[in-house]
Chain A
Amino acid sequence: MGETFLKLLEGLPLTLKLTFSSVTLGLVVAMALATMRMSGMPALDWFARAYVFVFRGTPLLVQIFLIYYGLGQFRPALQALNLWGFFREPYWCALLALTLNTAAYVSEIIRGGLQSVPRGQIEAARACGMSPFLLYRRIIIPIAVRQALPGYGNEIILMVKATSLASIITMMEVTGIAHKLISQTFRAIEIFICAGAIYLILNFVVTRAIQALEHRLSPHLRDAPVPVQRLDPAISSGVDR
């Protein structure tokens, strides 16, 4: 069991790399999409809508297959565009699919967060004479982030697990190694339990981190700290002696 666990851990760096890169890049793409969606310009709005519709409406597995095996059939065209170096490597294909997929979900989470900021608060801030930048920094973003965080935490957890799909395009991350070990030893239960435990630990860390962040961002939901009663210095020193 311990040996299995160590073997599976060899896949952990790749799992982490895929998760971290896709979540980070996905967030950037998602911000752009959310901005387009809320820009009020029909062309941008509809592009973002179509993007979200396609990437949220099709299975990630299909997207990975399409990007890897599908585009693989257009090698001459991709070579002409100098893109083959990118699409040749399974790692970049997996990363691209994961990023595009998570961006669709996260853009909707961001939009939800931004739209949840009460109008009254924005108007109040304007009435106080806040500049648009200050308005975003002090009012809109803090509230939007607080609202979006639970949903975003969910998405990160889903991404940690989604990296396991990269194993179907020859990436040897935790699940890929698990499959390989099973076919060598035929001990499916033990190996899948170990692999499951690794994802569980990863997601435990993720949920704790999100929880800590949520805690930090919502001081208004907690009771005000009770001030500690100060002892009279004279009495306390008197007791000491």
Chain B
Amino acid sequence: MNNPRFRLGWLALSACAFLATAAEAQQGREITIATEGAFMPWNYTEPSGKLGGFDVELVNDLCRRMNAKCKVVGQDWAGIIPALQAGKHDAVMTGMNITDKRLAVIGFSRPYATSRHVFATMTDRETLNLPKSGQLIDITSLSDDGKNTIEQMKKLIKGKTIGVQTSTNALAFLETYFKGDIEIREYKTAEQHDLDLSAGRIDAVFVDYASAMSSREKKELNGMTIAGPSFRGGLLGRGVAIGLRKDDGELKQRFDQAIEQALADGTIKTLSMKWFKSDMSPPQ
């Protein structure tokens, strides 16, 4: 063992092993993508622990286009951006909208979908009667009509308890437009506020439209119904995109390209029809 030649051999061998792994890493950097896994139909966790949903299927498609090795991992919503910054994963794909606040800390790919938010309530109790059902209000630049509608809604919704997922644009929206009129209750996941809506602890939830539509298919939420208009734009975001670290320009470029291809050949539309029953593709 003390033979110097023998030791030299070991050193050479371990150096080879080290170089080999380094080369491997450079060739195909594995991209880790985080998703919440509790936001049906955008993303959800199957009973087996496998992740699925629109985000997961689309990201697998994008990775094929990018020729990249991808790993999709589950990550708690509230910590998903700090963990991205800390380098725990390289991208966030979880139905997340582009907002100014998020743009201050992370970068985004181009939007791969659009979303809108609605109040959802249960029909089996004193219902929330809100005006302009089925209409879409863009809050980026509110028209007088839009302002009037919100004023009208304020009166009708006064004193109600509204559930919302914590640290979402939906919460920011409620705090901006309805603070003081309603009691806001914050939940860790959309599934939890759905449970409390069906239990009757809250009068309504303010939630992503697609998420509400998919909740409605659960037995407990059979009587769930949309109340009033839906909202988009402004602090509700400028489109759903992949969150990336700001300095990761190369990855942004690759994702942007892949998303554009997926938009052009209709993949996003197909997946959207499958998961949302409507076309959620963003304008090209």
- A residues bordering B, Cβ < 8 Å? 69, 72-73, 75, 84, 88-90, 168, 170, 172, 176, 179-180, 182-184, 186, 188
- Residues of A near B196 (CB, < 8 A) are 69, 72
A240 CB to closest chain B CB, in angstroms?
71
A-B contact pairs, 13 of them (CB 8 A): A69-B192, A69-B195, A69-B199, A72-B196, A84-B200, A90-B185, A168-B188, A176-B186, A179-B78, A180-B166, A183-B78, A186-B81, A186-B82
- Residues of B near A180 (CB, < 8 A) are 166-167, 186
7 smallest beta-carbon distances between A and B, as pairs: A183-B167, A72-B199, A188-B82, A170-B185, A186-B105, A183-B78, A186-B81
Q: How many residues of B contact A (CB 8 A)?
A: 22
Q: With an 8 A cutoff between CB atoms, is B9 at the interface? A: no
Q: Check B166 against A179 for contact (C-beta < 8 Å).
A: yes
Q: CB-nearest residue of chain A relative to B168?
A: A183
A203 CB to closest chain B CB, in angstroms?
25
Total cross-chain contacts (CB, 8 A): 49
Per-residue 0/1 for B198-212: is the Cβ within 8 Å of any A Cβ (1 yes, 0 no)? Answer: 111100000000000
Q: Check A188 against B79 for contact (C-beta < 8 Å).
A: yes
Q: With an 8 A cutoff between CB atoms, is B173 at the interface? A: no
CA gap between A172 and B184 in the complex, in Å:
11
Q: Check A73 against B199 for contact (C-beta < 8 Å).
A: yes
- Residues of A near B5 (CB, < 8 A) are none
- Residues of B near A84 (CB, < 8 A) are 200
Tell me which of B79, B101, B199 has the highest count of chain A C-beta atoms within 10 A of its own C-beta: B199
B123 CB to closest chain A CB, in angstroms?
15
Tell me which of A72, A84, A176 has the highest count of chain B C-beta atoms within 10 A of its own C-beta: A72
CA gap between A184 and B167 in the complex, in Å:
6
CA gap between A188 and B186 in the complex, in Å:
19
Q: With an 8 A cutoff between CB atoms, is B45 at the interface? A: no
Tell me which of B82, B188, B192 has the highest count of chain A C-beta atoms within 10 A of its own C-beta: B82
Q: With an 8 A cutoff between CB atoms, is B187 at the interface? A: yes
B224 CB to closest chain A CB, in angstroms?
16
Chain B 38-78 residues near chain A, CB threshold 8 A: 78
Q: With an 8 A cutoff between CB atoms, is B85 at the interface? A: yes
A182 CB to closest chain B CB, in angstroms?
6
A117 CB to closest chain B CB, in angstroms?
47
- Residues of A near B78 (CB, < 8 A) are 179, 182-183
CA gap between A90 and B85 in the complex, in Å:
33
CA gap between A51 and B50 in the complex, in Å:
36
